[in-house]
Amino acid sequence: MAESAFPQQARDSLTSSGNELPPYLQCVPYAREQSGIAIYGDAHTWWDKAEGKFKRGSRPKVGAVMAFQPHRNMQLGHVAAVSKIIDNRTVLLRHANWSPINGRRGQIENDVKAIDVSPNNDWSAVRVWYHPIQALGKTAWPIHGFIYSDKAPKFDKPAFAKPRFAAAPARKVVKPSKPSVSFSNAFADFDKKSAVAGKRKAITRPIARPVAQVAPRRVAVRQQPRTSDPVAKALSLYD
């Protein structure tokens, strides 16, 4: 809403009861951070403080701040940065401490819808996305207008980008490299020399000749004369 987290009525009730206010994130510093518009103080003072320092108007622009008037229980006003123009009656806002989320106030809402509900389409009244009902709220909030930033808008990226985990490096496939020309020539010469040396060795090698087999010597056996004479047979033994 403003530099303070609660509407003034809630702050008064908590202060009078002796309770301390919890440290909620407030709309003013977040709108200042998102838009780059250096205005300080409660949100309801921004419109007047911007006079003479920043341009103001009734048409939304990316990077501009939508300045809400105090209304009902939002006595300190509200500021929100315009992050995208959808059409002539619809924009997206980035703001803080608008909707309670999970029972907690002071929450950031990025790129939520707001529509112009003014009769003349002059953005003098808007309805804003309300998280608890997951729809546009029913209240038509009165708007001062838009304060334009003098810096280039930075809404081309999400407000809080998800962390990128480094992917595992791809395994590099090493292709076998071709041998250099000198390397190939060296081995070519080596092969030629080896072939020539082998050829020379084959030529100088003595030719093995088959060894002729010698026929075994035949021993002549003297045949004894056949005789039936026993005396001659006995004498032949001493012949």
Q: Across the strands, what pairs with 56?
A: 147
- Helix spans in 89-129 (H): none
Residue percentage of the chain with pLDDT more than 90: 51
**Single-letter amino acid code for the residue at 97:** N
Other C-beta atoms lying within 10 Å of the C-beta of residue 140 = 16
The yes/no answer on whether domain 8-147 falls in CATH 3.30.365.10 is no
Inform me whether the pLDDT recorded for 109 exceeds 70. Answer: yes
Average pLDDT over residues 126-136: 97
Distance CA 96, CA 65 (A): 13
pLDDT in tens, 6-60: 333 333 333 333 444 456 789 999 999 999 999 999 999 999 999 999 999 999 9
Helix (H) or strand (E) segment spanning residue 11: helix 8-16
pTM of this structure: 0.59
Residue with tokens 């045949």: 223
Per DSSP bridges, beta strands 90-96 and 141-147 are unpaired
**Single-letter amino acid code for the residue at 10:** A
Q: Which two tokens stand for residue 93?
A: 């806002």
